[in-house]
Structure 1
Amino acid sequence: MSNPTASFFEALGRRGHEPLLEEATGTVRFDLEHDHDVDRWFLVIKRGDVRVSQEEEGEVDCLVRGSRAVFDRIVSGRSHLYAAWARSELRAEGDVRLARLVQRIMPGPPGAHHPREFAQERKRNRPA
């Protein structure tokens, strides 16, 4: 069975640097509940340099808790992080600014385009 959350964090860890997080420094722990268990993911950010681990990283600046099923939908682009917070499906404690910055790296809906790519393609396809 595929695990979108694990795939998301593993891919993020392989990036090493994420420009969208360059104004962030801190550690975010994600506690994601499923099947009477909790998956823990640690996201350590230092001015855009990211490291992902499931090993204890000591003190954390922000703790995000919720269901892994909800997070699976978010990282699959089928739901939005803010909407999950509004519905109380996810909770953030500590430096919630870090949790808000993490939203920047969440995938959009399937088939979505980056606004700049969309504008460039629209300009190319415009009749002369």
Structure 2
Amino acid sequence: MSDPTTRFFQALARRGHETLVEDATATMRFELTHEQGVDRWFVEIERGDVRVSRDGGEADCVFYGSRATFDRILGGQSQMYPAWLRNEIRTDGDVRLFRIFGRLIPAPPGARHPRDFGRERRRVA
């Protein structure tokens, strides 16, 4: 069984086009450390078309951190922005891409859309 980070990037590669990032054209590289070394993932977004590879290369933004931290983010036990503030994730380059990439992270387990929450509150009242 693969780890959550590998599953996430593989699933992201299969998406192909993602409407949440249609306003973006950028490249991002992720360097995630673990006991056996460093996993590198390269994400290219061109107006919503998302491509993922294991290649390195120049990127508009590079994310550095541990695979364990990224696994916790993907599992909903942590969030990207607070992890960045705690220096668990570092970035080089265009830091605005940090926010754009955050749109691609799945919602934590049990999360609900704010509109659904509002509808439920109105029914109870």
Partner of 1:21: 21
Partner of 1:110: 109
Partner of 2:82: 83
Q: Is the 8 A contact 1:43 1:53 kept in 2?
A: yes
Q: Is the 8 A contact 2:63 2:91 kept in 1?
A: yes
Q: Which amino acid aligns with 1:94?
A: G
Cα distance in 1 for partners of 2:76, 2:27 equals 23
Give the TM-score normalised by structure 1: 0.88
Establish whether residue 64 from structure 1 lines up as the match of residue 88 from structure 2.
no
Q: Which amino acid aligns with 1:5?
A: T
What is the aligned-residue RMSD (CA, Å)? 1.7
Instruction: Please report how far the alpha carbon of residue 60 of structure 1 lies from its aligned counterpart in structure 2 after TM superposition.
Output: 0.8
Instruction: Please report how far the alpha carbon of residue 112 of structure 1 lies from its aligned counterpart in structure 2 after TM superposition.
Output: 0.5
Partner of 1:93: 92
Instruction: Please report how far the alpha carbon of residue 28 of structure 1 lies from its aligned counterpart in structure 2 after TM superposition.
Output: 0.1
Instruction: Please report how far the alpha carbon of residue 87 of structure 1 lies from its aligned counterpart in structure 2 after TM superposition.
Output: 0.5
Size of the alignment, in residue pairs? Answer: 125
Q: Is the 8 A contact 1:78 1:110 kept in 2?
A: no
SS of aligned partner of 2:102: helix
Partner of 2:48: 48
Q: Is the 8 A contact 2:13 2:52 kept in 1?
A: yes
Cα distance in 1 for partners of 2:90, 2:51 equals 22
Give the TM-score normalised by structure 2: 0.90
Instruction: Please report how far the alpha carbon of residue 120 of structure 1 lies from its aligned counterpart in structure 2 after TM superposition.
Output: 4.4
Q: Is the 8 A contact 1:40 1:54 kept in 2?
A: yes
Show CA shifts across 1:18-37 (max 9, x none).
Answer: 11111111110000000140
Q: Which amino acid aligns with 1:34?
A: H
Moved over 4 A (4+): 120-123
Provide structure 2 residue ranges, at least 5 long, that are not aligned to the other structure: none
